Each structure stands twice: as structure tokens, then as C-alpha cells.
Amino acid sequence: STMVWAFAVGGLGTELDSEAIGGAIEAHRDKFQVRDASNILWAYAQARRAGPHGGLDVLCRVADAVAPKFKISACGADPLEAGHRLVRVAQSLRTLEIQSPALCGAMAAAVASEPKRIEFDAFLQLTSSLAELGVQDALLVRALVCRVAKVRKGKKRGHGLKRQAAIARAYAALRLDDLEVRCS
């Protein structure tokens, strides 16, 4: 399956027939693991920035097919790697305007159940992206509020304007009032 996404990446932006790429992806989509799917989505998102490409219906099916397999450990061994890959998946879905409630829901559930498995800044960015994709998950909201509260009380209390802005964006995306929300 990794060879298939490598084929897709190599073919995008060239004169290679995009239908052949889509056909190869479609034929293998049920065999894709989380990393394969994230690489395919990312490759198409990068190509979309350069110009329009077809095959988005295939990508929707790839996203839906990988959703039941989704877990944080499949995204990377350490919190930084896992967070980076999760953010890339969410950004790719937004760039490509792909509607996959199944994958978005699976990502939100995984993040809400194991928030510390993702590096904090990536966690904030991912939470914002999922909210912008239409995810309104109560457990994800609680995970965000609790994690922010712990960071503010800990050693990183004066963590700077950039992180404060990221926290504000995540709260705004989820329509939370920073002054009223508490971790209960």
C-alpha cells in the first residue's frame, strides 16, 4: 500500500493520468493503514495548492475506509510525531474540502481519550482544525479545557503570546468563553 501512495505522490503535478492514480488508490483503499491514508491526503492537498485535481470522491472513500482503524499510536510513537501527523490529516481534509464525518469523529474520539499522547501545541492546532471541520465533541472540549488548565498552572505558565493566541483560537473554534469555562 505504501508503494501505491508513493506512486500517487510521484504522479501528481506531472502529465501522468490522474485517473490511473485514482484507480490504483481505489483498488487498494481497504488495505491502507493510517499512515498511508495521511500521506495520500497530504500529497493531494499539496497538489491542490498548485492547481485543481480530480479524484476527490476516491479520497473521501479512503478517509472513510481508514476511520475504523484510527488510533493515535498509528500516527507516531512520540507525542510530537503523532501530533504532527494528526494536524497534517486535518489540514489536508480542510484544504481538499473533504467531508468525512467518520474520520473526523474517529480523530476527535482518539484525541479526547488520550490527549497527552499529542504534543500540546499540536493538540491546540488539531482541536481548532477539527472544530473548523464541523466536529463538536463534548469529550474533546473537556480534554482541551483540562489540558489548558494544567498547562496554565504548571511550569509553563508564562508561555508567551504565540501559545496564548493558539489557545484563544482553539477556544474560539469550539465557541468557548475562556473566562467562563472550567475543568470540572
Who's near 47: CB < 8 A, 6+ residues apart?
12, 13, 53
Who's near 92: CB < 8 A, 6+ residues apart?
38, 41, 42, 44, 45, 98
**pLDDT for the residue 155:** 57
Q: Which portions of the chain are predicted below pLDDT 50?
A: 1, 3, 10, 13-16, 179-180, 184
Distance from CA of residue 30 to its chain's centroid? Answer: 20
Name the DSSP class of 29.
G
Total residue count of the chain as it appears in this document: 184
**pLDDT for the residue 1:** 47
Please give the model's pTM, rounded to 2 decimal places.
Answer: 0.77
**pLDDT for the residue 20:** 64
Element (H, E) at 161: helix 160-173
**pLDDT for the residue 14:** 47
**pLDDT for the residue 5:** 52
